[in-house]
Structure 1
Amino acid sequence: MTTPPTGVTFEHLTAEQAREMREVVEDIYRRSYVEAIASGDPFDAPEQFMHRFDAYTDPSRSRGFELVLARVDGHPAGQTWGWPLPPDAAWWRDFHLDHGDRAAFTAEDGHRTFALSEIMVCTEHTGHGLARALHDELLRGRPEQRATLLVEPDNTRAYSAYRKWGWQRVGTLRPSWPDAPQFDVLIQPLTTTDTPKPI
């Protein structure tokens, strides 16, 4: 775990609290994914992103959702969020495991795996360790055995950071969201169990 950069404070939000800060969530997204939005890829459009956010925080399906908001000198600068995967999690629906027993690997009971869904830092705050600090703040003290996240294979900057932070690839999947690309699936143990095989 790392020490947060100077001037950074964190705020932990439930799904309900996050929905109340929807405008801040969208503003951080727009300030973090400037190039991706400008590329015109429909999956990266702010409207599509906020549609996904609304689904993640829907009261009927948001059990355990947690968002960590980072502020630098009091101003929103980054955010990350995730949730524990429920039994029969849709997360694993189109998952292709590199090695081993897929059924055993994807078996969920609501307490086994924490899905880290998003992590982003506004462009003016990149390069100062804020992404790592957000990552550590969200995962610190989680009771689950392991965490999982998705990363686009050609996102070399993020991929390199995740590998450096202890994440390892275990397979691939394409989410059911419209225009979703194929992602590599990474895993990190949060306890001494479920240690993934190296790439």
Structure 2
Amino acid sequence: MPVRIELRRFRTVEPVWDTLIEVYAEVRADRLHDPHYSVERYAERLARHAVEPGWETVVGYDGDVPVGYAYGNRIEYGDRYWGRITSPLPESLTRTPTLALKEIMVREPWRKTGASIAIHDDLLSGRPETQVTLMVNPLAGDGKVHRLYETWGYTDLGVSQPSPDSPVLTAMVRALRVPTS
């Protein structure tokens, strides 16, 4: 049964910094020993991402309890994001205004309730870009996370390793607004 959550949008990180860190640490608790997934490294990435153009987050709440969040920012032609993908990309793709979905996290009790797609879709709503891209660890959830993104309309672009100690990720893309039939 879908859960009803309140979705709140923020264009600066300060009001939700602690919430994002708290949710991240809980969701990644089993990986925090890995330097790439440590809270300190996540905080560094969050601080860097939060000052990039068009940064925005949507946090879902069940009452006063944060359920999860998604955040992203706009990337332009020539952004290092595109350059890290190993497959050659058509210029028409990399010149298209794009939202880079950098993180999406949902706490365990709210998984499989519709919370993740609600948070995702709310972040995408009202954005000026025409497409959205994300990177996913193809091993996450034994491939379930990657398959979930495919059901949301994403297709594979290639692979990327954003930092030397990060896992090899699959880059995916889709139109920002998927037409409904």
Alignment correspondent of 1:91: 81
Compute the RMSD of aligned alpha carbons.
2.0
Partner in structure 2 of residue 33 of structure 1: 28
Match of 2:58, SS?
A: strand
> Are residues 20 and 74 of structure 1, via their aligned partners in 2, closer, same or farther at CA, if it must alter by over 3 Å?
closer
Superimposed CA distance per residue, residues 75-127 of structure 1 (whole angstroms, 9 cap, x where no aligned partner)? 11101000110232111122122xxx63515533xx61110110001122222
How far the C-alpha of 1:44 sits from its partner, in A, is: 0.8
- Say yes or no: does 1:45 pair with 2:30: no
Q: Answer whether contact 2:138 2:145 (CA < 8 A) is retained.
A: no
TM-score by length of 2: 0.88
Runs of 4+ aligned structure 1 residues displaced above 4 Å come to none
- 5+ residue gaps, structure 2, are none
Maintained 8 Å contact 1:171/1:186: yes
Partner of 1:12: 9
**Alignment: residue pair count:** 176
TM-superposed deviation, 1:178: 4.9
Amino acid of the residue matched to residue 170 of structure 1? L
Equivalent residue number for residue 185 of structure 1: 171
1:180 Cα shift? 1.4
AA of the residue aligned to 1:46: V
For the residue of structure 1 that corresponds to 2:138, the secondary structure is coil
In structure 2, the partner of 1:113 is: 98
User: What residue identity is the alignment partner of 1:152?
Assistant: N
Q: TM-score w.r.t. structure 1 length?
A: 0.81
